[in-house]
Amino acid sequence: MNFNIENEIVQLISTTWLNSPKEELSKNYITRYWSIDTQWMSYAQAESLIAELIGKGWLIEEKSILKPNIEMNFESITFGWNPKENIHTKLPKSNDVEIVETIQELKTEETNNIDVTSIIELTSAQRRLVRYISANTGILKDEIIRRCARKKRSLGQITTNLCLLLIAKEQGMDMPELLEGIEN
């Protein structure tokens, strides 16, 4: 068994259900999230991976609604994680995976040493903006900060304010209102 691919699957599923751990998500939502929101893969790859995860028992499907078939541990999510290409090949069956909890425990130990606030320093105005985005989108503040740090890393020379605005825009928030709030 390839422990790296199993870890990738656990990360993918845990990250997908991070903001809604008790909810069942639609196939369309997950496909859009993986392909458009996070840009982890193409739309076709996302559809194919979902079908394979269902077939291998990682996800349970009922009328195009999905729920995870693993024990999720959200502390195990690695900051700035992106799925590797090998997640699309040789997916193991879920019932063959006996070490998922061990992997999650190892990841928890690694990530417990990382403080979200140390990833990126925010001014008081930026912290207010994070709280506002969180309140209006339902995304946890820590997740918004993680996404902001990921955007800063990938886009290079970009301000924290612009990263936060991009996150808000991706969530469908009204931009003129946010821009007005930043200017004041």
Q: Is the pLDDT of residue 101 over 60?
A: no
Same domain, 121 and 32: no
Same domain, 7 and 98: yes
Of 57, 78, 112, which marks where a domain is finished? 112
Q: In the prediction, which pLDDT does 181 show? A: 67
Same domain, 95 and 134: no
Same domain, 101 and 127: no
CB within 8 A of 128, min separation 6: which ones? 181
pLDDT-derived band at 103 (thresholds 50, 70, 90) equals very low
Same domain, 40 and 101: yes
The widest CA-to-CA distance across the chain, in whole angstroms, is: 56
Whether the model pTM is above 0.85 = no
Q: Is the pLDDT of residue 73 over 80?
A: no
Using a pLDDT cut of 70, give the percent of the chain over it.
76
Q: Is the pLDDT of residue 116 over 70?
A: no
Same domain, 63 and 149: no
Of 112, 141, 174, which marks where a domain is finished? 112
Same domain, 90 and 175: no
Average pLDDT estimate for 142-163: 87
Same domain, 120 and 67: no
pLDDT-derived band at 137 (thresholds 50, 70, 90) equals confident
Average pLDDT estimate for 32-39: 86
- Could you list the residue range(s) of the whole structural domain that residue 75 is in? 3-112
DSSP one-letter string for the chain = --HHHHHHHHHHHHHHTTT-TTS-EEHHHHHHIIIIIS-SS-HHHHHHHHHHHHHTTSEEEETTEEEESS---GGGPPTT----GGGGS-PPPGGG---HHHHHHHHHHHHHT--HHHHS---HHHHHHHHHHHHHH---HHHHHHHHHHHHHHH-S--HHHHHHHHHHHTT--HHHHHHHHH-
Structural domains of the chain, count? 2
Q: Is the pLDDT of residue 142 over 50?
A: yes
Same domain, 104 and 139: no
- Residue 97 burial class via C-beta count within 10 angstroms: exposed 0-12, middle 13-18, buried 19 and up: buried
Residues 127 and 33: their CA atoms lie apart, in Å, by 25
Average pLDDT estimate for 12-40: 85
Distances (CA, A) of 155 to 27, 81, 118, 127, 149: 29, 16, 19, 21, 10
pLDDT tens, residue by residue, 117-130: 446 788 888 898 89
Same domain, 155 and 129: yes
Same domain, 12 and 66: yes
Q: In the prediction, which pLDDT does 184 show? A: 59
Of 59, 90, 112, which marks where a domain is finished? 112
Same domain, 43 and 122: no
